[in-house]
Amino acid sequence: MRHGGVKRVVAMTAFAAAAAAAGAASAAQAATPAQPSFSCAKVKAGSIEQTICQDAELATLDNRLAAVYAAATRKAVDEHPPVLKAEQRGWIKGRNDCWKAPDRRDCVQTQYVQRIAELQARYRLVPGIGPVRYACGGSPADEVVATYFQTDPPTLIAERGDSTSLMFVQRSGSGARYEGRNTLLWEHQGEALIRWGDSAPEMTCRKQ
């Protein structure tokens, strides 16, 4: 065999070896689960943290929440009183209570998705539409002002007097239905059904 042929064979062999090494590295990387924002080295067996560490999708959600929380923290520098850090500690406790749920993974996933959307809406980290005003009866005290946010899932923040409610979109046969903690805003063709409080009567309101 001529020297040129030997060089080609050597080059091809080196290329094949490099390709095999790259493929092995990619396979190893794919086999390694995604790491959450916290260390998995000392998590307790059977804990919610262990569930997150062993689930690539949940770990990815944890990293996404960490990034959103960091952005919210920058927006909350002048917040008085400072509530974000305390709320986040409370949220972590609620997330860890998912061990009680029949489907703990679904519970954890829902906790992350809703918390990400909540922070994005409350701290205006995503585009908003509004304010949209709803007149409920003839009293200015019953006016509800809503701002809609392009989160996933979609959210709105509604204000009535001195109180505020965060609501998440719900499945609906018609119109746009949002529900929060003891609150409801269901709009259809310029008319909205609004409930403000668990035992409060529902108000029929007009979009202004």
Q: Please count the residues of the chain.
A: 208
Omega of the bond prior to 36 within 30 degrees of 0, cis?
Answer: no
Strand, coil or helix: what is 118? helix
Neighbours of 15 (CB within 10 A): 10
Domain boundaries, the chain: 48-122, 128-207
User: For the domain with range 128-207, which CATH number is right: 2.40.110.10, 3.30.420.40, 2.40.128.200, 2.30.29.30?
Assistant: 2.40.128.200
- The pTM assigned to this predicted structure is 0.80
107 three-state secondary structure: helix
Any idea what the Cα angle at residue 159 is, between residues 156 and 164, rounded to 5°? 85
Per residue in 172-204, pLDDT (tens digit) is: 888 899 999 999 999 998 899 999 998 899 999
Residue pLDDT, tens place only, 109-150: 999 999 999 999 999 999 999 999 999 987 888 899 999 999
DSSP H or E stretch at residue 164 = strand 163-170
Has residue 46 got a pLDDT over 70? yes
